[in-house]
Amino acid sequence: MAFALSPLPYEDTALEPAISAETLSFHYGKHHQTYLDKMNAAIEGTPHADASLEAIVAASRGTNQGLFNNSAQVWNHAFYWNSMAPATTEASAELLAGIEAAFGSVDALKQQLKDRGLGHFASGWVWLAEKDGKLSIEETHDADTLADSGFNPLLVLDVWEHAYYLDHQNKRPAYLDAVVETKLNWAFASENLARGTVWTYA
């Protein structure tokens, strides 16, 4: 069965000015859609056709790079849309305690997210993640994902140029600053932490 593109959880203008409707029209409407279309074409008529997205990512890792890249990018982008909100949301007490234990404060975590996003060479993803009760920042390159990694991903930032080039050109720090300071969905991170298992694509 072919997968459908998961709906954007807000209007396409909802992330302005950090991320414009024009960027979302390309990033969600073209890039995300293309990863989905390529994945659907690759799984049609194969045993993957009836699998979950998470199972396809795990099964294709290291065995089918094309399918892995497209399926991981479908998952990563759906997770990324949910990692942002029209206005930043509230962290739970559990999440705040985890952040303070690992980073000292929310402001220190925000600065580290921005620093790691800026320092990440070329394309990839910067994650807030949990493992064995401890929070950390993790980076994955290109399409690589934490969906099947042993970490519980809480939030992600897309640092591919296509995430910011139309709005901020080459100024990745401006994109990171705008998203981290004004759009992070701490409530989503809190739900992921409370569940204790990896978010699933629907």
Q: Catalog residues that contact Mn ion under the rule CB under 5 A.
A: 158, 160
| Closest to 11 (Cα-Cα) out of 87, 90, 89 | 87
Under DSSP, the state recorded for 194 is H
Q: Nearest to Mn ion by Cβ — which residue?
A: 158
For Mn ion, the closer CB: 24 or 189:
24
Give whichever of 7 and 104 is closer to Mn ion, judged by the CB atom.
7
Minimum separation from the CB atom of position 137 to Mn ion (A): 19
Nearest approach, Cβ of 76 to Mn ion (angstroms)? Answer: 7
Residue appearing with tokens 């399926």: 71
- Shorter beta-carbon distance to Mn ion: residue 82 or 190: 82
E strands present in the chain = 124-131, 134-141, 152-158
In the 8-state DSSP scheme, what is residue 92?
A: P
CB of 133 to Mn ion, least distance (A): 30
**Dist. CA 175–CA 156, nearest whole Å:** 14
Residues 6+ apart with CB under 8 A from 179: 18, 19, 84, 157
- 93 by DSSP, 3-state: which? helix
Q: Would you say 91 or 180 has its CB closer to Mn ion?
A: 180
Residue 24 CB, nearest approach to Mn ion (Å)? 11
Cα(154)–Cα(143) distance, rounded to whole angstroms? 17
The smaller minimum CB distance to Mn ion, of residues 26 and 54, is found at: 26
- The distance of closest approach from Cβ of residue 160 to Mn ion in the complex, given in angstroms and rounded to an integer, is 5
